[in-house]
Structure 1
Amino acid sequence: QWFKVPPKIYFERNALRYLGEMDGIKRVSIVTDRTMSDLGFVARVTDILAARPSAVTVQVIDDVEPNPELSTVRAGAARMRDFGPDTIIALGGGSPMDAAKIMWLMYEHPEVEFADTKEKFFDIRKRAFKFPGLGEKAQLVAVPTTSGTGSEVTPFAVISDPEAAQKYPLADYALTPNVAIVDPVLPMRLPATVTADSGFDALTHATEAYVSAYANDYTDGLCLQAIKLIFENLERCVVNGAEDPEAREKMHNASTVAGMAFANAFLGLVHAMAHTLGNTFHVAHGRTNALLLPHVIRHNGTVSGKATPWPKAEVYRAPERFQEIARMLGLAAATPEEGVESYARAVEELRAKCGIPASFQEEGVDEAAFLEALPQQAMNAYADQCAPANPRMPMLSEMEGLMRQAFYGDGGGA
C-alpha cells in the first residue's frame, strides 16, 4: 500500500493569493462553471494572475455542468489543445475539478481511449490499464469553492455519459492535482442546502474510508479528525453561514482531510449506490449520500458471512470500527452493536438538524419509478468502482434492500 496526496496543499484564509507566487504560470486554462463566473470567483483568480510580475494569458472554460458530461470534457480538452496552457486551474465544486482532471488527461494524451480509463479494477495498484503520466504540458491546480468533495486532493473523477445513462468513477493516481488551494473564504457564503449536502458528502467520505477494506494506519487518523470536525461544525455552518467564519474554515479543512483519507483508503457501498441513484433520479450527490449513509452503517455494522475478498482484510472489523467512531464522538458504545446503532442515529440526527429529508420519498422521488428501477440500480452499483472497497461483499439483493430502506426511511416500507 501507499499514501499519495498532492505535493503542495495551501490552507488558510485568502490562500488564493498563492496563485500570484507559484512558478511556471504563463498560460492558464481556468475550468469552472457559469455560477463561478457570475459570482465573481473567476475574476478573483484573473485579478491575482494579472498582478503577477510577468504577463499571464488566460483561457476560461466555464461551461461545466453539474455531473460533468463526457462531451463537455472532450470539448474542453480540444479547446485546451488549441490554447496550449502550462497551468490548468480547476475552480469550483466537485464537477469542475473532476472535469478538469479528465480534460488534463485528454489534453496531454489525446490518444487515450475513454473506454479504457473506465475499466474496473480490484486493486488500483495492480490493474490492466494504467493512466499515462501527467504534467509534461501543464500542472493542475485545484481550488475548491464548496466543502465536501475533496476532489482537490484525490486521484478520482466522476464523469457522466447520458447516452449510456451511466456515471463513471475514474481512478488513477496520475489524476492527483499538483497543487490544492484550500481557501475557506471561497465557500463562506454558500447556501445552506449546498452546505448541508456537501458536508454530508465529506462525512460519507470519512466514514466509508474508516471501515474500508483498504483502511490503514495512515488514513485512520484523518478519517476520525474529519468526522469530529464535521459533527462539531456542519450544523453551525448551515445555520450561521458567513456569520461563523471559524466553522466555515473547519468544515473546509474537514473536506480536504477526508479527501486525503479516501484518496488512499477508498469508499464503499454508499457511494456505489449514490452514483447510480443520484444520476437516475436527479438528486444531488451529497444528499443521496445522506439518505443512504445510516442504512449502510447498520448493514456494514452487522457481522457478515461474506466479507470482502481483499487479502489484507483478515478479520471483519467494521462493527468495532463504528464503535471507535461512536466513542470518539462521546456516544454510547459499550458494545460494537451499541456503537453501530449510536453512530447511525447520530448521523440521522445531524441530517435532520441540517434540514435534509430522511428518505428519497420525502425528497420527492416517484415511488413507482424508484421501485421499478431497483434491479438495474443494484446492478449498476455492483459494477461501480467504489463497491469492492466495502468491508462487506455487496450482494444484489442486499443492495436492493438498502435502497428500498433509503426510499422509505425505515426498514423497507410496505
Structure 2
Amino acid sequence: MNQVYIKTRVFSGEDSLERLRKFEKKKIWIISDTFLVDNGTIDRITEQLDRSNRVVLCSDVVPDPPLSAVAKGVALMGNIHPDIIIAFGGGSAIDTAKGIIYFAKFSGFTDGVRFIAIPTTSGTGSEVSSVTVITDPDTKIKHPIVDDEILPDEVILCPQLTCSVPPSVTANTGMDVLTHALEAYVSRNANAYSDALAEKAVEYVFGYLKRCCADGNDMEARSRMQEASNLAGSAFNIAGLGMNHAIAHQLGGIFHIPHGLANSLILINVIRKNSNVCEMRARYAVLARKLNLAGKEHSDSEAVTLLCEKIRSCQKEMKIPVTFSELGIRPESVLEKSTEIWKNAQKDMCSDTAIWRFDQCDVEDVLQL
C-alpha cells in the first residue's frame, strides 16, 4: 500500500519573506549559524518580524549536527517555550532544529509550536522531509531519525537568500538534489507521485544548476534550484533513498566530506552498480528518455551510459572533484575503511528502500575512485 503525505505549506518567490509579517505577540526562537548572524543575513528575517514579538536567537549551529548540540537545544527549548521555531540556514540548521523538536516532544515542549524552515541553500530538501541526520562524533556515525512530527509546518523559499552561496557549495548541494531525485526514482517504494516530483527535480537540476554556478545572481536559476531541492525532498520523503546516501553518510562521518560532495563522488559508480539489476536499469533508462538524453533507438544500457555521461559532463563543467585524491584523501585509506563503511551502510535507514542492498564487494567497487 502506498502512502503519500505532504504536510508542509510552501511560500516561494522574491517576496516570500513577507509571510513572517503575520506573526504578532509571539515568542519566536530562531535557530541559525554564526556565519549568517555575523554577515548580517539574519537581518533579512528579523526585519520582517513585528516588534510585538519576543525574538530569541541561537547561532550555535555547526555542520553535521552532533548529539551534544541537539541536547543543548532541548534544554534551551525548555527554558524558552517558543510559540514559533524558525530554522534559518542550510541543511545543518534545519536538521538541528528537527533534532531538537524530535527529542523535545518527549518532554511536551513542542505542544502547539509552529515550525518554519527557511533554507539558504538548494540541496538537502530537509525543509520538506520527515528525516533529520544527527552525528555521533565518538563513533563517527550519522544517525538518521524519521518522524512525521518533525516535518516543518511551513517553508519559505526566497531565492535572494541563496545568491551569496559560492559556486563550489552551490554545485555540491545541487548534486545532492540530483542524488535525492535519482535515488527516489529507483527506490523500492517509488510510485507515481514520487516519480513526478523526481522527474521535474532532475529536469531542473540539469537545466539550471550550471547557470547558478556561473552567475550567482541569476534569479530564475536560483528559484528553479530551490524548487528542485524542494521537489526532490518531497520525492524522497515519499519513496525513500538508497545505497548512495547510505554510503555517503559514512564517507561524511569518517572523512568529513561535505554531504553533497560525498553523494556526487560515488553517484555514477552507484548508478552503474544498480544497473546490474534489470528493474533499476530500466527505470534509469525511462528517466533518460523522458529527459531527451536518450531515444527509443538506444537500449536500456546505452540510455544509462548517456545519463552517466550527462552527470559527468555537469561535474566537470562545475569543477566538482570526482576522485578522493582531489580531496587530499588517499584512495587506499578509503578502501581500508571499506568494511566499516559497508557494515554501517547496512544499518543506515536509507538502505532499507534500496531495491538492491550492496554487499561488501559492491561497496568496494563503488569506492574505486
Normalization by structure 1: what TM-score? 0.85
**CA deviation string 1:260-316 (max 9, x = no partner):** 11111111011000001111111111011111111111111112xxxxxxxxxxxx5
Structure 2 unaligned spans of 5+:
none
Structure 1 runs (4+) deviating above 4 angstroms are: none
Tell me what 2:252 maps to: 278
Structure 1, residues 56-114: CA drift from partner, whole Å, max 9, x if none? 11111111100001100110111111111011000001001011011112333238xxx
Q: Give the secondary-structure state (helix, strand or coil) at the position aligned to 1:5.
A: coil
How far, CA to CA, are the matches of 2:70 and 2:350 in structure 1?
Answer: 22
Match of 1:90 in 2: 87
Give the Å deviation of 1:363.
1.9
Q: In structure 2, what is the equivalent of residue 5 of structure 1? A: 6
Contact 1:268–1:390 (Cα < 8 Å) also in 2: yes
Partners in 2 of 1:21 and 1:2 — Cα distance?
Answer: 33
Aligned residue identity for 1:96: A
Distance in 2 of aligned mates of 1:21 and 1:375: 53
Q: Give the match's secondary structure for 2:139.
A: coil
Q: Please, what is the CA RMSD of the aligned residues?
A: 1.5
Equivalent residue for 1:131?
none
Gaps of 5+ in 1: 112-133, 304-315, 409-414
Tell me if the contact between 2:184 and 2:241 (Cα under 8 Å) persists in the aligned partners.
yes
User: Could you tell me how far apart the structure 1 residues matched to 2:187 and 2:110 are?
Assistant: 30
The answer to whether structure 1 residue 254 and structure 2 residue 221 are counterparts is no
Superposition deviation, residue 16 in structure 1: 1.3
Name the structure 1 match of 2:212: 237
- Counterpart of 1:141? 116
Task: Supply the distance in 2 between the matched residues of 1:258 and 1:29 (Cα, whole angstroms).
Answer: 28
| Structure 2 CA distance for aligned equivalents of residues 38 and 103 of structure 1 | 23
Counterpart in the other structure of 1:226:
201
Q: CA deviation at 1:341?
A: 1.1
The percentage of counterpart residues that share the same residue type is: 37
- Whole-angstrom distance in 2 between the partners of 1:204 and 1:197: 11
Question: Aligned-pair distance for 1:401?
Answer: 1.8
Q: Which residue of 1 aligns with 2:342?
A: 378
* Partner SS state of residue 88, structure 2: strand
Q: Structure 1: how far apart are the matches of 2:105 and 2:294?
A: 52
Which residue, 300, 306, 328 being the options, matches 2:290?
328
Residue 160 of structure 2 aligns to a residue whose secondary structure is coil
* Shift in Å, 1:46: 1.4
Distance across 1 between alignment mates of 2:235 and 2:197: 6
In the other structure, the counterpart of 2:301 is: 337
2:365 corresponds in structure 1 to 401
Task: Specify the alignment match of 2:20 in structure 1.
Answer: 19
| Alignment match, 1:49 | 49
Question: How is 1:197-236 mapped onto 2 (pairs within 5 angstroms)?
Answer: 197-236=172-211
Q: Which whole-Å CA distance do the structure 2 matches of 1:290 and 1:364 have between them? A: 16
Q: TM-score, with normalisation over the residues of structure 2?
A: 0.96
Task: State the 1:215 CA deviation.
Answer: 0.3
Question: Contact 2:31/2:88 (CA < 8 Å) preserved in 1?
Answer: yes
Q: 1:25 to 1:12 in 2, by over 3 A?
A: farther
Partner of 1:349: 313
Say whether the 8 Å CA contact 1:29–1:58 is kept in structure 2: yes
User: Alpha-carbon deviations, 1:236-281, whole Å to 9, x = none?
Assistant: 1111111x11111111111101111111111101100000111111
Q: What is the CA distance between 1:25 and its match in structure 2?
A: 6.2
Query: Following the alignment from structure 1 to structure 2, what is the Cα–Cα distance between the partners of residues 36 and 138?
Result: 24
